[in-house]
Amino acid sequence: MSSIAAVVLAAGAGTRMKSAKFKVMHEIGGRPMISHLLETVSQLSPEKVVVVASPNMQSVQEAVAPAEIAIQETAEGTGNAVASALGNLEGANGDVLILYGDTPLITYDTLSRMIERRRKDTKTAAVVLGFEPEDPAEYGRLVADEEGRLSAIVEFAEADEKTKAIGLCNSGVMAINGEYIADLVNAIGNDNAKGEYYLTDIVEIANKKGLTCAYVKGDEKELLGVNNRVQLAEAEQAVQELWRQRAMEQGVTLIDPATVWFSHDTVLGRDVIIEPNVFFGPKVEIADNVRIKANCHLEGTRIGEGAQIGPFARLRPGADLAENVKVGNFVEVKKASIEAGAKVSHLSYIGDARVGSKANVGAGTITCNYDGYDKFHTDIGEGAFIGSNTALVAPVKVGDGAIIGAGSTISKDVAADALGIERADETQKPGWAARFRSLKKKITK
């Protein structure tokens, strides 16, 4: 089997995004859209991947590493963009895929079908990916016969009314025979309405050389090009629908799938139940038999088997929850390990801390981990009981089995099995409340 190379065009600034960020760096599912495409390409085990960028696109170059970078010095069309990459393709005599960094949803199956079709005949110079949208709009049209042979791609600006009536449109994606790509691209001219070098011209050029071209059809949904924020949202929705479907097929219950949002790297075990309105940021791993209750936000988190989270919980980066942990409503956990069977049931903040196994943290407990300059650690021992409305002023350690009285501010270590309590003496003044109300009534008359 001959080799595969891929050229990804990513030089567009994306002015319609109205952003200081380059278009292909806008995120879908927690990572740049171009990264989605490159992951799909990697499944083909390409010999080489070349990303065509404009000068000074350092963030793009960093995001696509270790792909090679070709610089398109001037924006003179897709033909010019591919010509910029020809030097990187020397020696690549197999198939060369031409892809677009702002078209991130194309699938492995579609690319495989294109390569398979291209390899049916060594005289097939190129295979173009076509599609039939509900509204052809200003897409270029594929002019082909009934046997699938492609005679031309006509850009909308160059098309007559007969050609515009064709429903088969050009996606821009191609698989080109590497033996011919340099000759075909170098033969492209710019005698057209825009004065640009159209990659689509290689179809007519190939036919004139006695070669053939063909097309395969793709799904309009996977060929969505992202040029503005509306299309970015459409792409996000398409990816989320795919991930939700995959999660349910793999043994996850989504009570209201449309309200659950995943990241590209979310890992879910079997028999996980996810209630409505749950958001997963990057780097979340969830073991089997976990229940995520409604209205939770998770990122950078590992959750052990049998745990229960929420509702209304926030797990921030570094939260590491062992098996059978309970983190309840309005609890925030950051950079903390909560060991097996421990409970933080409600209204608490646990940051830069360890909560030992089977410890119980009462409502309103706060680990005071930051002094305005540095972060400090709190250690809560195995089986400890932290009373409600406790402030643990780090660095501090509560020993195994210790009990902290409700309403305490603890700034010194508490020994194992000890009672730690810090309260001012309670003072009562008989009759004071009645006198206070009487005074207020006189003032308001």
Domain 4-223 has CATH 3.40.50.300: no
Beta bridge partner(s), residue 172? none
d(CA 16, CA 228): 5
Task: Tell me the pLDDT tens digit for each residue of 346-361.
Answer: 999 999 999 999 999 9
How many beta carbons lie within 10 A of that of residue 185, not counting itself?
26
> Which pLDDT does position 13 carry in this prediction?
84
Is 377 noted as a catalytic residue in this protein?
A: no
Asked if pLDDT for residue 47 goes beyond 80, the answer is yes
pTM for the model stands at: 0.90
d(CA 109, CA 340): 43
Set 36, 264, 346, 377: catalytic member: 346
Which residues are within 8 A (CB) of 188 and not within 5 positions of it... i.e. 6 or more apart?
A: 79, 83, 197, 198, 199, 201, 202, 205
Q: Which of 28, 68, 34, 35 is nearest to 52 (CA)?
A: 68
Residues 261-287: what's their mean pLDDT? 98
d(CA 27, CA 240): 13
Q: Which of 365, 367, 370 is nearest to 388 (CA)?
A: 365
Task: Tell me the pLDDT tens digit for each residue of 102-121.
Answer: 999 999 999 999 999 999 98
Average pLDDT, the chain: 95
SS3 per residue for the chain: CCCEEEEEECCCCCHHHCCCCCHHHCEECCEEHHHHHHHHHHCCCCCEEEEEECCCCHHHHHHHCCCEEEECCCCCCHHHHHHHCHHHHCCCCCEEEEEECCCCCCCHHHHHHHHHHHCCCCCEEEEEEEECCCCCCCCCEEEECCCCEEEEEECHHHCCHHHHCCCCEEEEEEEEECCCHHHHHHCCCCCCCCCCCCHHHHHHHHHHCCCEEEEEECCHHHHCCCCCHHHHHHHHHHHHHHHHHHHHHCCCEECCHHHEECCCCCEECCCCEECCCEEECCCEEECCCCEECCCCEECCEEECCCCEECCCCEECCCEEECCCCEEEEEEEEEEEEECCCCEEEEEEEEEEEEECCCCEECCCCEEECECCCCECCEEECCCCEECCCCEEECCEEECCCCEECCCCEECCCECCCCEECCCCCCCCCCCHHHHHHHHHHHHHC
Residues 288-308: what's their mean pLDDT? 98
Residues 134-163: what's their mean pLDDT? 89
Residues 324-335: what's their mean pLDDT? 98
Calculate the CA dihedral of residues 64, 71, 127, 14 and round it to 10 degrees.
Answer: 70
Residues 311-331: what's their mean pLDDT? 98
- State the fold for domain 230-420: UDP N-Acetylglucosamine Acyltransferase; domain 1 (2.160.10)
> Which pLDDT does position 266 carry in this prediction?
98
As annotated, the residues of the chain forming the CATH 3.90.550.10 domain(s) are 4-223
As annotated, the residues of the chain forming the CATH 2.160.10.10 domain(s) are 230-420
Residues 41-52: what's their mean pLDDT? 97
Band of the pLDDT at 1, cuts 50, 70, 90? very low
Residues 69-79: what's their mean pLDDT? 94
Sign of CA dihedral 90, 96, 100, 104: negative
Task: Tell me the pLDDT tens digit for each residue of 365-391.
Answer: 999 999 999 999 999 999 999 999 999
Q: Which of 77, 73, 82 is nearest to 195 (CA)?
A: 77
